[in-house]
C-alpha cells in the first residue's frame, strides 16, 4: 500500500512564504551582536574544545615557592590562539615575604605569555584588586578591565580607576602596576580626597 501526501495549494503557499522569510532573515539573526572585524568575529564564532568547572590551579617556582593561584567557576578552552575564557576568575599572587595581592573579576581571558611559564590574563567586568598594606589597612583598586602579565609581574589598564584605602580615595584614568615593587601609578586625570 502506498501513501501519498497531498498538499493543498493554500498550505503550499503558506509553507513557501515561511521558507522564504526564514532564508531572508537567517543572515541577519545569525550574526547578531558580533563585531565587524573578521578576526574578532572568527574568534567569537570558534568552538571550544573543552571546559572545566570549579578550577583551581597553582603555579610554583623552580624552588617550590608558591607564585600565584588562579581560580575560576568555569574555564572554556578555544584552540584558536590557545586561549581560554574564564568565568569569575580570582587571581592571587604570593610575593616572597609580603602580603598576597588578589585580583578578581566577573570574566576574563587567559592567553599564553612570552615564555612557557608565563601567562597573560585579561580581566574584565568589575575588576577589583586587593592588597593589605604594611600598616594593616586594606587597599582596593576598582576598574572595568585589567591586563596582567605573570612574566613581567605587571598589570595595566586604560580604563577609569578608583583606589580606596581607609579614608583616602584616588581616582584617575589608566593605571600601571608593578607587582614586584608594590608600585601603582595612575596615568591621567588624578583626583583625590581624604576624610
> Helix or strand or coil: residue 23?
helix
Pairing of strands 138-149, 101-104: unpaired
CA dist 142 and 162 (Å) reads: 5
Domains along the chain with CATH numbers: 47-194 (2.60.450.10)
The candidate with the shortest Cα–Cα distance to 84, out of 95, 74, 94, is 74
pLDDT of the chain, 195 residues: tens digit per residue: 454 445 455 544 554 555 445 545 555 445 444 455 565 555 555 677 888 899 998 988 889 989 889 999 998 888 877 788 999 999 998 888 888 889 999 999 988 765 555 678 899 999 999 988 878 888 999 999 999 988 888 899 999 999 998 888 999 999 999 887 888 888 998 888 887
CA dist 24 and 16 (Å) reads: 12
What pLDDT is stored for residue 123 in this prediction?
93
For residues 101 and 127, the answer to whether their CB atoms sit within 8 Å is no
The residues, ordered by sequence, that sit 6+ positions from 178 with a Cβ below 8 Å of its Cβ are 153, 154
What pLDDT is stored for residue 45 in this prediction?
53
The residues, ordered by sequence, that sit 6+ positions from 151 with a Cβ below 8 Å of its Cβ are 113, 114, 115, 117, 118
Q: What is the pTM of this model?
A: 0.70
What pLDDT is stored for residue 49 in this prediction?
81
Q: What is the pLDDT of residues 114-132, one digit of tens each?
A: 555 567 889 999 999 998 8
Question: In the numeric block, which cell numbers belong to residue 106?
Answer: 566577573
Left (φ > 0), alpha (ψ -120 to 50) or beta: where does 20 sit? Answer: alpha
Kindly report the CA angle at 22 between 20 and 24, in degrees rounded to 5? 70
155 strand-pairing partners: 148, 177
For residues 179 and 170, the answer to whether their CB atoms sit within 8 Å is no
Amino acid at each position: 500500500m502506498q501513501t501519498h501526501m497531498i498538499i493543498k495549494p493554500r498550505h503550499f503557499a503558506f509553507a513557501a512564504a515561511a521558507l522564504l522569510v526564514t532564508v531572508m532573515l537567517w543572515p541577519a539573526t545569525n550574526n547578531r551582536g558580533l563585531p565587524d572585524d573578521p578576526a574578532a568575529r572568527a574568534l567569537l564564532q570558534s568552538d571550544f574544545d573543552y571546559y572545566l568547572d570549579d578550577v583551581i590551579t597553582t603555579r610554583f617556582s623552580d624552588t617550590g615557592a608558591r607564585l600565584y593561584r588562579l581560580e575560576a567557576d568555569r574555564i572554556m578552552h578555544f584552540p584558536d590562539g590557545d586561549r581560554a575564557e574564564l568565568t569569575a576568575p580570582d587571581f592571587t599572587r604570593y610575593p616572597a615575604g609580603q602580603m598576597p595581592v588578589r585580583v578578581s573579576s566577573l570574566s576574563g581571558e587567559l592567553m599564553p605569555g612570552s615564555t612557557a611559564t608565563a601567562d597573560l590574563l585579561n580581566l574584565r567586568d568589575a575588576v577589583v584588586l586587593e592588597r593589605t598594606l604594611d600598616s594593616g589597612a586594606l587597599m582596593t583598586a576598582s576598574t572595568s578591565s585589567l591586563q596582567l602579565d605573570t612574566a613581567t609581574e605587571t598589570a595595566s589598564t586604560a580604563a577609569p580607576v578608583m583606589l580606596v584605602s581607609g579614608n583616602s580615595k584616588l581616582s584617575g584614568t589608566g593605571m600601571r602596576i608593578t607587582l614586584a615593587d608594590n608600585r601603582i601609578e595612575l596615568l591621567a586625570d588624578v583626583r583625590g580626597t581624604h576624610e
